[in-house]
């Protein structure tokens, strides 16, 4: 799977760990930065991830920051992106099953690295259920 990654300075360490995990299990990764813990403005790194997913250059995207809130908001401003803010296995699974989330947002200051990696694994393995949930997604895509 082609996966786009982006973070601000507060999500940099987890982004690097997630990138290594994804490459290790055979995914293709495009890293949109940032490349250090030096303070940056997160939209400069999050929007390119969301746009790559919306264009179809990446099948999924993962964005990271301190809390993940601003990153999720920035990603969701791009038409065609459904970004779920995840903080545990259930939010990752339900974000895929019910909302067909094609991007997730993680907060490095909110969860452990092991939890972040578990979220990524679950989110990648979980299929979208479709059915009654599909109509909701179609309505969102019309906006």
Q: Point out the residues that are catalytic.
A: 71, 98
Question: What's the pLDDT at 136?
Answer: 66
119 vs 131: CA distance, rounded Å:
24
Does the structure show a pLDDT above 80 at 139? no
Does the structure show a pLDDT above 90 at 108? yes
Threshold 0.85, pTM exceeds: yes
31 vs 48: CA distance, rounded Å:
10
Domain total of the chain: 1
Question: What's the pLDDT at 132?
Answer: 63
Q: What is the CATH number of the domain that holds 53?
A: 3.40.1400.10
Question: What's the pLDDT at 135?
Answer: 64
- The residue-averaged pLDDT of 21-50 equals 97
Residues 6 or more apart from 99 whose CB is under 8 A from it?
82, 84, 133, 136, 137
Q: Which of 109, 111, 108, 102 has its CA nearest to residue 78? A: 102
The domain in which residue 113 lies consists of 2-142
């Amino acid at each position: 799977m082609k996966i786009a990654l982006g973070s601000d300075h507060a999500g940099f360490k987890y982004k690097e760990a997630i990138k290594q995990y994804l490459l290790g299990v055979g995914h293709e990764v495009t890293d949109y930065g940032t490349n250090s813990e030096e303070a940056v403005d997160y939209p400069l790194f999050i929007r390119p991830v969301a746009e790559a997913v919306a264009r179809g250059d990446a099948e999924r995207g993962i964005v990271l920051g301190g809390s993940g809130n601003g990153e999720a908001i920035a990603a969701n401003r791009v038409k065609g992106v459904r970004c779920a803010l995840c903080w545990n296995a259930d939010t990752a699974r339900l974000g895929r099953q019910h909302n067909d989330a094609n991007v997730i947002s993680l907060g490095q200051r909110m969860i452990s690295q092991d939890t972040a990696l578990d979220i990524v694994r679950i989110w990648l393995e979980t299929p979208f259920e479709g059915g009654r949930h599909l109509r909701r997604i179609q309505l969102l895509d019309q906006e």
